Structure 1
Amino acid sequence: MQETKRQKQIGQLVQEELSGIFQRIGLNVVDGGMISIAAVKMTPDLLEAKVYLSMFKIPSPQEMLDHIRKERMGEIKKHLGIGLGKHLRRIPELNFFLDDTLDYVFKMEELFKKIKEDDANIKGENK
């Protein structure tokens, strides 16, 4: 089911606000790695936000995700309420997920590099 214009607008608003919150509370740079908000998808009733986090060079992404869910959720929701209070009647429930798009891109790049090397080796053998 395709997102409505309103869902996209609110999702973008939540994403921008969460990005600012992560910077203010120091969650955007952790343990020498970076965390960013890759995407926010809103449910049709706008009461739930699926927040996809992209983690770059974080030693244990799943542990970091659990830490955010358990230890930092209250702080994040408090700041989100302050930032979005004038735009929304109800602040959406946040559900955090790992965004593995970056891992997928790196994996594909490695595969293409290997194919290119194998292709060069085969051409070299045929000469």
Structure 2
Amino acid sequence: MDSTRQKKVNRLLEKEISQIFIQEARVLTLGTMVSVSKVRISPDLGMAKVYLSIFPSKNAANVIEEIKTKGGLVRKALGMKAGKQLRVIPDLQFFLDDSLDYLENIDRLLKE
């Protein structure tokens, strides 16, 4: 169960990281559309898991690896944006959110 503080930080990080991906899209996303679907922060606010939806999903593995290698740039930009609101900028871990692919697969199976 997340505390109220964790929920507020989750929303803040989701909003700010989304803005970073919009502004730095060419450098980070290899020409694909990336959206932040969910952010989960640890209870000590030191680690954040960022779940990303990538479209088109055929080269999602390459894009997520590129984002992981440039995660320091994302964290630095996050520090510039949210540094006044957070005491410590959390370490970021990026994960692929494949829930949309899963839903499409279920729809396809139900139509058969």
Q: TM-score with structure 2 length normalisation?
A: 0.91
| Structure 1: gaps spanning 5 or more residues | 115-127
Alignment-derived partner of residue 76 in structure 2: 78
- CA separation in 1, counterparts of 2:86 and 2:65? 27
Aligned pair count reads 111
- CA separation in 1, counterparts of 2:49 and 2:29? 21
- CA separation in 2, counterparts of 1:23 and 1:30? 12
Alignment-derived partner of residue 68 in structure 1: 67
- CA separation in 1, counterparts of 2:43 and 2:85? 17
Alignment-derived partner of residue 51 in structure 1: 50
Q: Any idea what SS the aligned residue of 2:25 has?
A: coil
> Larger C-alpha radius of gyration, 1 or 2?
1
Per-residue deviation, residues 51-74 of structure 1 (Å, max 9, x unmatched): 00011214321121111111x212
Q: Say if 2:64 and 2:96, in contact at 8 Å, map to a contact too.
A: yes
Q: Any idea what SS the aligned residue of 1:63 has?
A: helix
How is 1:1-127 mapped onto 2 (pairs within 5 angstroms)?
A: 2-26=1-25, 30-31=30-31, 33-70=32-69, 72-114=70-112
* Moved segments of 4+, more than 6 Å: none
Q: Any idea what SS the aligned residue of 2:85 has?
A: coil
- CA separation in 2, counterparts of 1:98 and 1:18? 15
Aligned-pair identity in percent equals 39
Q: Say if 1:34 and 1:58, in contact at 8 Å, map to a contact too.
A: no
The residue type equivalent to 2:93 in the other structure is N
- CA separation in 1, counterparts of 2:44 and 2:72? 22
| Structure 2: gaps spanning 5 or more residues | none
Q: TM-score with structure 1 length normalisation?
A: 0.81
- CA separation in 2, counterparts of 1:59 and 1:92? 30
